[in-house]
Structure 1
Amino acid sequence: MAKVLGGLPFLVVLSILVALGGSRELHEMSMMERHEQWMSLYGRMYEDEPEKARRFEIFKSNVEFIESFNRDRDKSYRLGINKFSDMIKEELRAARNGYKKSPPRSSRITPFQYEIVTAVPYSMDWRKKDAVTANKDQKQRGSCWVFSAVAAIEGVTQLTTGKLISLSEQELIDCDDNGEDHGCKGGINDHAFQFIFKNYGLTTETNCYTKRWVN
């Protein structure tokens, strides 16, 4: 006669535990397969097995967070797996964030103010307005201050002229000689806009790289 445990026959309880253990193993196998596919997609290699195991745990944690976040249908956006999915926030911030806080403004400078309007949309996707260029990759450099400034100018240019033109981040990195900006090692957004203003704009991304390599 089967033993009873917590109101259920012992064999039933045992079957449930085995099933749970099996599903957990399948989950791990599935996640490992996803990690292998992700590595192949982004050409990711690790120096040894301990490093691979550590990165897998980070990848798994990030993927589980992404899936949990996306289950909330009330969110206005969705997260996705990308080439940074085996990194922790601190690593990503150290590798990509070269933003420097602007110095205090003079009290004589009139602060920026938005126009007073009443009829504004709840949200706006500027991609649908063709005011955003394709994603650009700053690589392992602290040049986010440049890329963000250039993206803003690209959007303003499109809204003003109706033409979406990919402008050159490299010109800012190479030519902004402000003593407080250091190209790929960090800088200040305000200085980027000041350079663009004094330089009467930026060259296009295509033009910059053509001259860079031809000359």
Structure 2
Amino acid sequence: MTSANRLCFLFAFIVLGFRASGVACRRTAADMAMSLRHERWMAQHGRVYRDAAEKDRRFQIFKRNVEYVNTVNDAHRKYKLRINQYADLTNDEFKASYGGFRPTTTKAAPTFRYENETAVAPTVDWRSRGAVTPVKNQGECGCCWAFSAVAAAEGIIKLKTGKLILLSVQELIDCSVYGEDRGCNGGAVEDAFEFIISNGGLTTDANYPYTASDGTCDAVKSSSKEATISGYESVPGIGEPSLLKAVARQPVSVAIDAGGPAFQFYSSGVFTGKCGTNLDHGVTVVGYGTTADGTQYWLLKNSWGASWGESGYMRMQRGAAGAPEGLCGIAMYASYPTM
């Protein structure tokens, strides 16, 4: 090798070294920024890990979730995601703790009182009519079924009596042993309705407050009935038109497939993402409408706290193409209490 060639080789080696060093520095800087973001997130949500190994594992999950959220948002869809209190959980961990819906064999009345409804309002929001209580947070208790049933009951009681009463979810968790109801291990809305009827009603949340855990039924508190329902009906079939008729008249309990990561980090907009029909979460439909660009949606009250979604609510696409059962199976398993 000539001296000129040796000089060229040395120069190329130095240049490559500088480039590799620059890439490493950029990676280090990015990791440091992500680490600081994780630290701020931990402080915001009061998260403390048992040791350094667990902290590093949670950091890696947090990092992947941030990357996922950024990727979805960069696609400019009709909805946005954001990093929230669930950002250090894998999607499997999230599904295991924050669902809880179980289908039941309990049969509702074979009637559908809204079958002959022909004129429904173009937009309904039961919140604006005073029939919806504040959003709650189920925490790591798989009792979405109880929150969904109570929200629907609170709605019809308000519409029939004029009184909006915050009813006890904890009473259902502790005391309902009907059908599939298993407290924090899941349950069914219809079985919750059965308990309310047979128990002669529910007490208030103030009298029997929520603890996000299973407990022994407090017969004394449960005996103080505040309000009740007389029956319940299922929305027939699996199509959205029947569900629309029911929601036009009152809040309705439904089950959806909420197991995807987009649900975990939903922030705003009309959700149009991918989901199946593995019904694993109970929510309450408290309205519907159409956006300025013509996108039809359902308005869902969730039980993951007011910091999730649109102050605890989600707008989900209505009339999605190729989904006769509704997006995420929303029209497959719907029921409502009656008075």
In structure 2, stretches of 5+ residues that fail to align are: 210-219, 222-339
1:1-215 correspondence to structure 2 within 5 Å: 18-75=21-78, 77-103=79-105, 105=107, 109-110=110-111, 116-117=117-118, 121=122, 131-158=131-158, 164-178=164-178, 180-209=180-209
What secondary structure sits across from 1:208 in the alignment? Answer: coil
Residues 157 and 163 of structure 2 are in contact (CA less than 8 Å); yes or no, is this contact kept in structure 1?
yes
1:40 Cα offset (Å): 1.4
Instruction: Give the stretch that moved more between structures: 85-94 or 180-189.
Output: 180-189
Q: Relative to total residues, which structure has the larger strand share, 1 or 2?
A: 2
What secondary structure sits across from 2:88 in the alignment? Answer: coil
Percentage identity across aligned positions? 43
CA distance in 1, matches of 2:127, 2:22: 47
Counterparts in 2 of 1:144 and 1:202: CA distance versus 1, 3 Å: same
Counterparts in 2 of 1:139 and 1:116: CA distance versus 1, 3 Å: same
1:46 Cα offset (Å): 1.6
In the superposition, the TM-score normalised over structure 2's length comes to 0.49
Instruction: Give the stretch that moved more between structures: 82-91 or 200-209.
Output: 200-209
Q: Relative to total residues, which structure has the larger helix share, 1 or 2?
A: 1
What amino acid sits opposite 2:35 in the alignment? M
In the superposition, the TM-score normalised over structure 1's length comes to 0.73
Residues 178 and 194 of structure 2 are in contact (CA less than 8 Å); yes or no, is this contact kept in structure 1?
no
CA distance in 2, matches of 1:79, 1:201: 39
1:155 Cα offset (Å): 3.9
In structure 1, stretches of 5+ residues that fail to align are: 4-8
1:91 Cα offset (Å): 1.3
Counterparts in 2 of 1:184 and 1:64: CA distance versus 1, 3 Å: same
CA distance in 1, matches of 2:93, 2:207: 34
Question: Size of the alignment, in residue pairs?
Answer: 204
1:172 Cα offset (Å): 1.1
Bigger RCO (CA 8 Å, 6+ sep): 2
C-alpha distance after superposition, 1:140-174 (max 9, x if no partner): 22212112222333344455566554321012122
C-alpha distance after superposition, 1:39-74 (max 9, x if no partner): 112221222222111111111111111122223333
CA distance in 2, matches of 1:163, 1:43: 37
